[in-house]
Structure 1
């Protein structure tokens, strides 16, 4: 198992990297512009459902957790422009070796295939470099674009968790999807999920 942070993952014009201090303006504008688009899917603390962490606090927390090996929090960048985030975490070690994946994307970039590619990059890193055994994604049944992402990545459906996560003002049901390392054939470069994605959907990997 090898954990390195800061870490950058790349696939052509798509770059996954840590948030930087100078991202603050772009990040805050991106979140504000996508507020209504993301509201139905954003998890929240039920005691403070409308509160959001200030960018400096969020970035500092991300860095602390990433250096501890508890999370891999990436900003998504395309052609030098911030377009979303993808996070693996919490990372569980020992007998579990499991990571939970979460992501969001700018509405203007939805359908461009960026989320499946980003998720594939992260999953390949978790399996090939960090020795993780299982990756899990939870999705609201109403979230058709995210269901298409897990379908493209060949994550197995494992059932429904009732009232699993507090989202959009209530405890919402979530479908569970998972993938284990044994289900992926990895090439010499450590790419298995991404290689399969490209084989099935082509270089640009268009989403829904």
Structure 2
């Protein structure tokens, strides 16, 4: 693992991260758009980011979702995000994981390390049993992150999510506490 990847940490996002999140989102808008839903124009505003992050704080406190910023240790720069969303308790104890990283830092192991840290939180702190992720088959970089962090491929879900205005097929990956190392 590169020294850059080892210098990544995650922490819960707060509304105070709105300016840094907006800068990250604007800088990477063209890169992220093919992999995300179409969002309202207000999303790429400071107020839109504040609202989204305030909601993320409420969800974190309620235990229904956990949003983490990915930061470089050397300068505390926000470079990405990893989420544990759709938390279901009871017999399932499951969450879905999603993530993104500044395009300029791709391929350096940063997101792999951030996902490992989020899994540690999911299993050791949040008490989850299973984490799943859905990835479009053409998103090779995301698939590699999941494979390197121990996720197993479970199958293909047709027309699973509406991404960039199109119902896209997604590969489903998952990992359970027993598989996590």
Match of 1:34 in 2: 28
Deviation at 1:52, TM superposition (A): 4.9
Q: TM-score, normalised by structure 1?
A: 0.77
| Unmatched tracts of structure 1, length 5 or more | 1-10, 185-191, 193-208
Structure 2, unpaired ranges of 5+? none
Q: What is the number of residues matched between the two proteins?
A: 171
**Number of the residue aligned with 2:78:** 82
TM-score, normalised on structure 2?
0.88
Which position in structure 1 is the counterpart of 2:135? 139
Superposed CA RMSD in Å reads: 1.6
Residue by residue, what CA displacement relative to the aligned partner does 1:81-126 show, whole Å, maximum 9, x if unpaired? Answer: 0101000011111100001100000001111101111111111221
- List 4+ stretches of structure 1 deviating above 3 A: 49-53
Residues 101-156 of structure 1, C-alpha deviations (whole Å, 9 max, x = no match): 00000001111101111111111221122221111010000101001111111211
Which has the higher mean CA deviation after the structures are superposed, 23-32 or 86-95?
Answer: 23-32
Higher fraction of helix: 2
Distance 1:92 1:52 in 2: 29
Corresponding position: 1:170 with 2:166:
yes
Q: Distance in 2 between matches of 1:153 and 1:21?
A: 29
SS of match in other structure, 1:183: coil
Instruction: Decide which structure has the larger Cα Rg and report it.
Output: 1
